[in-house]
């Protein structure tokens, strides 16, 4: 582990992917550039490359997932890795085995990479630290979402999507709308957008759904959605994370939709060619109206497709390719 940035090895190469915070711009750009040729692979009859042949990738999802788990599996298989999906519900976690004991046992099965989603912020970092402390630096950890902390591959696939449609980050205004407080996706997006030089990032939310001091991340706070959407190039809607809400932060989902739901009428305030993104899963009629989610400006399903190529890029770089 490199002590300045524990995700990089002593040669400055990616060893783990835990967070976008502190990741050098050139590493982010290299991931996006590496992903580009992988998108074309989806249209080929032969979709496999040998870059992870002989490697074992363990998917450890302690929280539910549709997009991230599946696209990591597809990505690893396209790179010719052996993929093992640990079913947490039927694993010995249910009998009280600790995370690090699980890691030790899977490492003893010659794991090369762990892709981990966990409700506890910091769980992937703990795993990476443990592997380093026990001399198993050759095993990489990829954070697939930890608590409210980070969801780096989501942030990266979002950047890939923006670059695909908008080409250049240096003249964009990007709005992130909704439950910023509980969102690991928002944190990863903000770190990526600032590192890539987006000049204006707005976060649009009621005060109860904003982290204290969010301005210090380099964003402009808007409590009024109509004001916040004016003239933006990209709108990133976020899911209202009811499962993470302690106490009543909102009067009701219906009230939230009235003020902060993305409707065609509110979207009309953005630039006419603005794109609409959402990491999924969507709560239709809560943070986004179906007419927008399924409309011509939405790039929500392309985000999912790009996620395969971006995850292929991350895994192949971690494997030293
Ligand atoms: N965007 C995202 O993380 O979706 P899943 O929870 O389905 O993986």
What does 8-66 look like in DSSP terms, one character per residue?
A: B-TTS-B--B--STT--HHHHHHHHHHHHHHHHHTTSS----STTTT-EEEEEESS--S
pLDDT confidence of residue 264? 98
Q: Looking at ligand 1, which atom is closest to the CA of residue 64?
A: 6
239 phi and psi, to 5 degrees?
A: -75, 140
Alpha carbon 290 to chain centroid, angstroms: 23
pLDDT over 90, % of the chain: 88
Residue 67 Cα to ligand 1 middle (Å):
5
Residue of minimum CA distance from atom 6 in ligand 1: 65
Residue of minimum CA distance from atom 1 in ligand 1: 279
Residue 135 Cα to ligand 1 middle (Å):
32
Nearest residue to 205 (alpha-carbon basis) of 186, 221, 194: 221
Mean pLDDT of all residues in the chain? 95
Please state which of the four CATH numbers 3.30.930.10, 3.30.300.30, 3.40.50.1370, 3.40.50.300 is assigned to the domain occupying 152-302. 3.40.50.1370
Mean pLDDT across 180-193: 97
pLDDT confidence of residue 242? 76
Residue of minimum CA distance from atom 3 in ligand 1: 68
Residue 266 Cα to ligand 1 middle (Å):
26
Identify the band that residue 1 occupies on the pLDDT scale cut at 50, 70 and 90.
Answer: low
Q: Is the pLDDT of residue 247 over 70?
A: no
Mean pLDDT across 117-135: 97
- CA 282 – CA 298 distance, rounded (Å): 13
pLDDT tens-digit profile of 265-279?
999 999 999 999 999
Residue 185 Cα to ligand 1 middle (Å):
10
Mean pLDDT across 132-144: 96
Q: Looking at ligand 1, which atom is closest to the CA of residue 279?
A: 1
Residue of minimum CA distance from atom 5 in ligand 1: 65
pLDDT tens-digit profile of 8-24?
988 889 999 999 999 99
pLDDT confidence of residue 10? 86
- CA 91 – CA 85 distance, rounded (Å): 11
Q: Looking at ligand 1, which atom is closest to the CA of residue 68?
A: 8
Residue 68 Cα to ligand 1 middle (Å):
5
Beta bridge partners of 86: 60
Q: Is the pLDDT of residue 246 over 80?
A: no
Mean pLDDT across 112-138: 97
Q: Is the pLDDT of residue 94 over 80?
A: yes
Identify the band that residue 115 occupies on the pLDDT scale cut at 50, 70 and 90.
Answer: very high
Which of 154, 241, 243 to mutate for ligand 1's pocket (most ligand atoms within 8 Å of CB)? 154
pLDDT confidence of residue 99? 97
Q: Is the pLDDT of residue 2 over 70?
A: no
Q: Which fold has domain 25-151+305-318?
A: Rossmann fold (3.40.50)
The runs of H, that is alpha helices, within 97-175 are 99-107, 123-133, 152-166
CB atoms within 10 A of CB 252: 10
Beta bridge partners of 288: 262, 284
Mean pLDDT across 138-148: 97
Q: Is the pLDDT of residue 37 over 70?
A: yes
Q: Which residue has the higher pLDDT, 260 or 242?
A: 260
Residue written as token pair 């009811």? 242
pLDDT confidence of residue 11? 87
Mean pLDDT across 281-307: 97
pLDDT confidence of residue 177? 98
Same fold, 25-151+305-318 and 152-302: yes
Identify the band that residue 190 occupies on the pLDDT scale cut at 50, 70 and 90.
Answer: very high
Mean pLDDT across 204-212: 95
Domain boundaries defined on the chain: 25-151+305-318, 152-302
Nearest residue to 68 (alpha-carbon basis) of 188, 210, 217, 192: 188
Ligand 1 neighbours, Cβ below 6 Å, are: 65-68, 145, 154, 279-281
121 contacts: CB under 8 Å, gap ≥ 6: 146, 147, 148, 149, 150, 184
């Amino acid at each position: 582990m490199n002590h300045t940035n524990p995700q990089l090895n002593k040669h400055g190469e990616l060893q783990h992917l835990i967070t976008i915070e502190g990741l050098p711009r050139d590493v982010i750009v290299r991931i996006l550039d590496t992903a580009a040729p992988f998108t074309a692979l989806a249209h080929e009859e032969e979709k496999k490359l040998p870059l992870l042949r002989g490697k074992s990738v363990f998917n450890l999802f302690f929280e539910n997932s549709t997009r991230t788990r599946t696209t990591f599996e597809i990505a690893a298989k396209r790179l010719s890795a052996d993929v093992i999906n640990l079913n947490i519900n039927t694993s010995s976690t249910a009998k009280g085995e600790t995370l690090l004991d699980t890691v030790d046992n899977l490492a003893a099965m010659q794991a090369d990479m762990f892709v981990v989603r966990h409700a506890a912020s910091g769980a992937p970092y703990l795993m990476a630290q443990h592997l380093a402390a026990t001399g198993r630096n050759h095993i990489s950890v990829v954070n697939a979402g930890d608590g409210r902390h980070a969801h780096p591959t989501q942030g990266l696939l979002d950047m890939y999507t923006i670059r695909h449609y908008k080409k250049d980050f240096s003249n964009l205004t990007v709005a992130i709308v909704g439950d910023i407080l509980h969102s690991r996706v928002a944190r990863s997006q903000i770190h990526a957008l600032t590192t890539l030089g987006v000049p204006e990032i707005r976060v649009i939310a009621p005060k109860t759904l904003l982290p204290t001091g969010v301005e210090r991340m380099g964003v402009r706070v808007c409590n009024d959605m109509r004001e916040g959407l004016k003239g933006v190039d990209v709108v990133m809607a976020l899911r209202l994370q009811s499962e993470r809400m302690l106490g009543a932060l909102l009067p009701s989902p219906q009230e939230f939709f009235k003020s902060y739901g993305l409707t065609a009428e509110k979207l009309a305030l953005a630039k006419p060619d603005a794109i609409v993104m959402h990491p999924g899963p969507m709560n239709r009629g809560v943070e986004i109206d179906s007419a927008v989610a399924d409309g011509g400006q939405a790039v929500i399903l392309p985000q999912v497709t790009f996620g395969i190529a971006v995850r292929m890029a991350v895994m192949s770089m971690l494997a030293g390719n």
